[in-house]
Structure 1
Amino acid sequence: MPVTDELEPRVTLGATEADTAHAAAQHAAEALLGAIRDRGSARVVFASAPSQEAMLAELSRDERIDWSKVSSFHMDEYLDLAMDRPQAFGQWLADRLPAAALPGFARIRADAEAEEEIARYSTLVTQAPIDVTCLGVGVNGHIAFNEPAIADFADPAWVREVTLDVVSRQQQVDDGLFASVDEVPTRALTLTVPALTSAATMVCTVLGRQKAHAVARALTGPVETACPASRLQEHPGARWFLDQEAASELEGVAVTASSSS
């Protein structure tokens, strides 16, 4: 069922990718600023993906944010890939966050034993509530690396090791991050669906026609692990920011046009 509660419209449609990114960054910034105002600090989980790059650039330029008061996390990381490789999600994000944010950025350690790192990062993420999750959606509907075959909406863990779906690995190639699917690692650590959705505010930025089917399924299909992003239908603080192509298969959902320039 489409989202039809009193919080509609929950989908903002941008005229361009830049317009979409600006609107998403504004929404994320307001949530961070609100947390800092109310509690003196903020905690945010970021996705590391090309679809997030323009939004992160906009957020980084927002001079209202005191990044010394922000603790940042990333939602997944490859195993079996050196942490300083540009494709490593922690490195990708470190290269795009403002310098002022880096002291507060806690990276997943891919060079540690997986079980030990799961315990360490779970402790860090659960030390206080998450205020904002900034995420995208995979072409197979995944969020972080919670793949359709393994996603668990009631997962008791906050971080776990997963085996990557070949569709997700191919997406990394299609995004230009690897030359072939054989180069894409097959294992990763990921925040689980309950960990991601624990945030008070979820800012989901999706760009491009290749994501259109996943977006339509996530917003108008049943809430089911076959499309992990559908879980956002049940989250009162989830907002979607789409460009025209990502929204091209969307029907029956109220949207608002972005007023950003």
Structure 2
Amino acid sequence: MTEMLTTPQGRTLALNRVEGQGPAVIFLGGFRSDMEGTKALHLEGWARENGRAFVRFDYSGHGASGGAFEDGSIGDWRDDAAAVLDTVPGPKILVGSSMGGWISLLLARDRGDVAGLVTIAAAPDFTEDGYWAGFDEAARAQLAETGVVHVPSEYGEPYPITRRLIEEGRAVLVLRTPLSLPMPVRFLQGTADVDVPEAWAHRLLAHAEGDDLRLTLVKGADHRFSDPDCLALIVASLEEVLGRLAA
């Protein structure tokens, strides 16, 4: 059953919760995605089968949550995720996909209740290193003048990339300052991902600091990372993190 949560900032979020054993697993979806995606639902099924506490949710401006996508930013969506985490007692395991990987890195760095992390095609700093770096002078001028540039997407309608998204994103970058991850972390990345280059995964692994960090590359996997083998790898990585904590 879908719950509605009002955040400290006054935004309304939709979430689905499975009661069970902790540490709870929380799925953080990607840019313009929602909690009804293949990976989120697959993990919910795993949680139900294993009696594991689990939460999936929509950021503001996404899915069933309130607000307009164009009004949001990485910091806003980080705060949305933090509000969800605050409803879950005890340590948490985060599974962050794409933008959710960036947000989960922020939470793992800044909070004391993140006990483990799995990222899927993590996209830290993508507003700067992806969109802004890829804009030509005309696009940058349009962004400055109108406040928005519409970028084609293979997933549907063009994405509105706002000036606020770019400018606010610079306040929450994670690859320009130390990134301490003192918990079990598993980074997953497909080599055929055209949205998040494989090089970004190597950069993240090289930059992050921690004693239990591993990167797994899947040859031929794309950004969706949702075929049966990829879904099985996500679960296996999650179970490995949980096993590390139990040990």
Q: TM-score range by the shorter chain?
A: 0.3 to 0.5
Structure richer in strand, relative to its length: 2
Q: TM-score, normalised by structure 1?
A: 0.38
